[in-house]
A and B are shown apart, each in its own frame.
Chain A
Amino acid sequence: MSTSVGGGTRDEAVGGTRGTDTGTGGRLRGGTSGGLRGALRGRLRGGLRAALLGLAGLAVLFLSIAFAITIGPADISVPDVWSAVAAHLGWGEAELTPIRDGIVWNLRMPRTVLAAVCGAGLAVCGAVLQSLLRNPLADPFVLGVSSGASTGAVAVVVLGVGGGVLTVSAGAFVGAVLSFSLVLLLSHTLGDTVDRVVLSGVAAMQLFSALTSFVVLTAADAETTRGVLFWLLGSLSGAAWTDVWLCAAVLFAALAVCLLHARALDAFAFGQDAAATLGVHVTRVRLVLLCTTALLTATLVSSAGAIGFVGLALPHAARAVVGAGHPRLLPVTALAGAVFLIWVDTLARTVLDPQEVPVGVVTSLIGVPAFVVVLYRTRKTT
């Protein structure tokens, strides 16, 4: 695989000698001299390869969705599932009963698509925040969004804030926005460096987690606690088409903003001053990207709860495969996150059938070993 900062694919000029996937740290066979002509040829070849990679990724994504919707407790045959979906997309007639058709189109389909959207969104947020904050431990929840969302959700469910008008999702969203505003305000007051942003996020996370625990333990009965816990760990079980459309719209808008700043993110590799001397408006770009990722995370969390690990690990895995250049890293991370969460959710709802495991639990149970393998294969041997 090859890597490149700035979206081009110039390292092809050295004959693709960067062996990130050679396992035992054999990534450093020296490049041979490429020269300009080689660079240009490499660019074309690399461009083709990037396009192929993107197409392959999309194909895998659609196949994953097609497969995931055939699985479930209701016994519906694979051709029936696909013909039902095709009918809804405008091809042919469905032969299923309305109930079975509803299972496919109103339960399985939105759930699977929401898994894809959440996976993509969380992974992209993680990738952006890791680069922006220059912290490999950053994830979408580092800005305190998830704990704020939890507090908001708990306030609605347990305390009845909003008097029944406010849904759990809306409560979570309000909580997330409040928490993120607190983080921005804190980090601004405390000096506005990258470290201060991270530390403010950690502080907000602790504060809102404490509030959530306090509310749950003092005010909730056992049944509510269980429901809240399930939500806190992340679950796609309540997915409806309205959630899907909302999340997808926010995802695509946020993706566009992040891709627009992809080169600026590249420039952050050597720190903020270096980015500034490369022509990046550091404060502006940072504020735009922090707000974009926080908004996207808040939207996703309010629909599906705080699904952990995807945003932390997927960007690292994607980086190991396609390199650190954001114009390519961000789309690949999005695809990888989408496919990953589809499969994890499929597993989460089948492995203990008929009981369902919170998807956030499974992301970590499956993700951690995979993550270790990826890191091991790309470890530095120096």
Chain B
Amino acid sequence: MTYEETYDATYEKAHDATYDESEAATTGLAAGRVAYAAGGRLIVDGITLAPRPGSTLGLIGPNGSGKSTLLRLLSGVLEPASGVVTLDGTPLPRLGRRETARRLAVVDQHASTQVELTVRDVVALGRVPHRKPWSASTAADERAVEEALDRTSLTDRAGQSWHTLSGGERQRAHIARALAQAPRELLLDEPTNHLDIQHQLDLLNLVASLPVTTVIALHDLNLAAMFCDEILVLKEGRAYAHGTPAEVITEPLIAEVYGVRARVTPPADPADPLDHPSVRFLRSSPRPSS
């Protein structure tokens, strides 16, 4: 398949009618032609998506391509200028903040605090949307917190101050907090930034193993290829391509979207779901080689 054909196929898929509100309206998180403008510029320009429940959707694209803004639209923190974000067919504003927070959780790049909190305190924040203002924590709250700590291997650190955690542990604590919300949808904005490779892999393995629908913005194309079921490529706020990692992560697309040269090794066995394309970037030659 030539680049043109690949491009057409993936671009078509991003704008495919079967991948639109009609289907999206029924299950899970969906966005229908959402747009957002700031400073007279469209940051997100008519994105439509509906990740399959339980799957992991990766958002990739250069800086300023609208990944973070799209995630903020999906979480309801920002309201789209046009278009709609729905959970099981109900628009977020109609669902309400609290109800949204009970099933959709967000993990940011590096949310920090000056407040002196223990790891358990941070994880327990995830129960805020589930609790009434005056009531003490219930057994269900306790269980959710314990399970979230256990799942992220933070039980031993529960009593420790949040400020003493390493970067990787902090992100794990945030994921534990998100899990304590008992979400069905999890949105992550470049959660592996500033982590070393081992912690990046640990964290993404953890995320991929969670039984929730995940939308994750990632910088690293190899990580995106490894851990995402599907990838949506953003360029200047638009959906540039959409498909499986093998369909999307190609040399021409990388050249087109990022403007860099790369060698892409396709998966050896396209039928193996754990196999994935890998990307090797090339130095740009200082002057044209003869």
Binds A, one of B81-89, B101-109, B190-198, B211-219: B101-109
Contact pattern, B 120-152, Cβ under 8 Å of A = 1, otherwise 0: 111011111101011011010111011000000
Given known contacts A269-B125, A278-B101, A279-B100, A134 and B114 CB-to-CB distance under 8 angstroms: yes
A319 CB contacts on chain B under 8 angstroms: 116
Interface centre among A5, A28, A260, A279 (most CB of B within 10 A): A279
The answer to whether B163 touches A324 (Cβ under 8 A) is no
The CA of A43 and the CA of B145, in the complex, are separated in Å by: 13
The answer to whether A11 touches B159 (Cβ under 8 A) is yes
Q: Which residue of A lies closest to B137 (CB)?
A: A8
The CA of A120 and the CA of B10, in the complex, are separated in Å by: 63
Binds B, one of A33-41, A184-192, A340-348: A33-41
Interface size class of A (residues with CB under 8 A): 35 or more
Given known contacts A271-B111, A273-B72, A319-B116, A260 and B158 CB-to-CB distance under 8 angstroms: no
The answer to whether B157 touches A279 (Cβ under 8 A) is no
Contact pattern, B 227-264, Cβ under 8 Å of A = 1, otherwise 0: 00000000000000000000000000000000000000
The CA of A14 and the CA of B139, in the complex, are separated in Å by: 16
Partner of A279, one of B102, B136, B145, B164: B102
Interface residues of A in 309-339 (CB under 8 A from B): 319, 323-325
Interface size of B in residues (CB-CB distance below 8 Å)? 52
The answer to whether B133 touches A3 (Cβ under 8 A) is no
The answer to whether B113 touches A323 (Cβ under 8 A) is no
Would you give the shortest CB distance from B127 to chain A, in whole angstroms?
6
The answer to whether A269 touches B113 (Cβ under 8 A) is yes
The answer to whether A270 touches B112 (Cβ under 8 A) is yes
Given known contacts A10-B145, A30-B159, A279-B129, A18 and B118 CB-to-CB distance under 8 angstroms: yes
Would you give the shortest CB distance from B191 to chain A, in whole angstroms?
14
Q: Which residue of A lies closest to B146 (CB)?
A: A36
Interface residues of A in 1-38 (CB under 8 A from B): 3-8, 10-11, 13-15, 17-18, 27-28, 30-36
Interface flag for A101 (CB, 8 Å): no
Interface flag for A300 (CB, 8 Å): no
Interface flag for A267 (CB, 8 Å): yes
Interface flag for B97 (CB, 8 Å): yes
B280 CB contacts on chain A under 8 angstroms: none
Would you give the shortest CB distance from A172 to chain B, in whole angstroms?
33
Interface flag for A355 (CB, 8 Å): no
B133 CB contacts on chain A under 8 angstroms: 259-263
Given known contacts A11-B159, A278-B125, A273 and B142 CB-to-CB distance under 8 angstroms: no
Given known contacts A6-B137, A36-B146, A271-B111, A14 and B121 CB-to-CB distance under 8 angstroms: no
Partner of B121, one of A5, A32, A39: A5
Contact pattern, A 261-282, Cβ under 8 Å of B = 1, otherwise 0: 1111011011101101111110
The CA of A329 and the CA of B128, in the complex, are separated in Å by: 16
The CA of A113 and the CA of B161, in the complex, are separated in Å by: 38
Q: List 28 A-B contacts (CB under 8 A).
A: A4-B121, A5-B125, A6-B124, A6-B141, A7-B137, A8-B137, A10-B120, A10-B142, A17-B159, A18-B161, A28-B160, A31-B157, A32-B159, A33-B155, A40-B139, A134-B114, A260-B134, A269-B113, A277-B77, A277-B104, A277-B106, A278-B101, A278-B129, A279-B102, A323-B117, A324-B115, A324-B121, A382-B163
